[in-house]
Structure 1
Amino acid sequence: MNMTSDIQAAFVRAQQDAQALPKKLGNDVMLRLYGLYKQGSGGDAGTERPGGFDFVGAAKYDAWDALRGKSTEDAQREYTELVRSLQAGS
């Protein structure tokens, strides 16, 4: 296995682990997880920011767009580290 596939495998495991996190997370943490997940799985955000009264959609878009330019591998690594720290209760 190479470094990239190790990071991707850890990212996939972290996605599964995130589903099992026991406690309610704050909005800031949830948005950080969302942004890192989207950047790690799809790259930069598109150009269409939700508008109108879609406040949740806009917040999610902004969290993702704030990571524009971050490499997929870096986003996957940060996502994995964040999930691990949440599991540890940090």
Structure 2
Amino acid sequence: MSLDEGRNFLKYKNFNQQEFNKAAEEVKTLTKRPTDDELLKLYALFKQGSVGDNNTSKPGILDLKGKAKWNAWNNLKGTTQDAAKQEYVDFANELLAKYE
């Protein structure tokens, strides 16, 4: 990778992170509540984008909410953090258009 290619890569990566952070803040301003499935998808994409593959223990059988969130995140295993961030931004924009 040349120096210019490296700079462009870093510029894209920083842009991606900035857009991701901005989208995470903007979805907090929704005036209507998205569906549970939409919230689970948003949660899973956020976790995959910020942490990577799920590295936590599966919640107990009685923790239904925790189990649903864990499964949603775990289903994204293998998705790169950059891809998850971009998908999060795209999905957040869809929700902002739908619920504002």
Give the TM-score, by structure 2 length: 0.85
> Structure 1 segments of 4 or more deviating over 6 A?
none
Residues 1:80 and 2:95 aligned together: no
Specify the alignment match of 1:10 in structure 2.
19
Residues 1:57 and 2:66 aligned together: yes
Offset at 1:52?
2.7
Give the TM-score, by structure 1 length: 0.94
Higher Cα radius of gyration: 2
Residues 1:48 and 2:57 aligned together: yes
Indicate the percent of aligned positions where both proteins have the same amino acid.
Answer: 36
Offset at 1:47?
4.6
Secondary structure of the structure 2 residue equivalent to 1:52 = coil
CA RMSD of aligned residues (A): 1.3
Unpaired segments ≥5 residues, structure 2:
1-9
Q: Work out the CA distance in 1 between the residues paired with 2:16 and 2:31.
A: 24
Could you list the per-position Cα deviations for residues 22-66 of structure 1 after superposition, in whole angstroms to 9, with x for gaps in the alignment? 111111000000000000000000151001310000000000000
Q: Which moved more, 1:56-65 or 1:43-52?
A: 43-52
1:34 aligned partner, one-letter code: Y
Residues 1:29 and 2:38 aligned together: yes
More helix per residue? 2
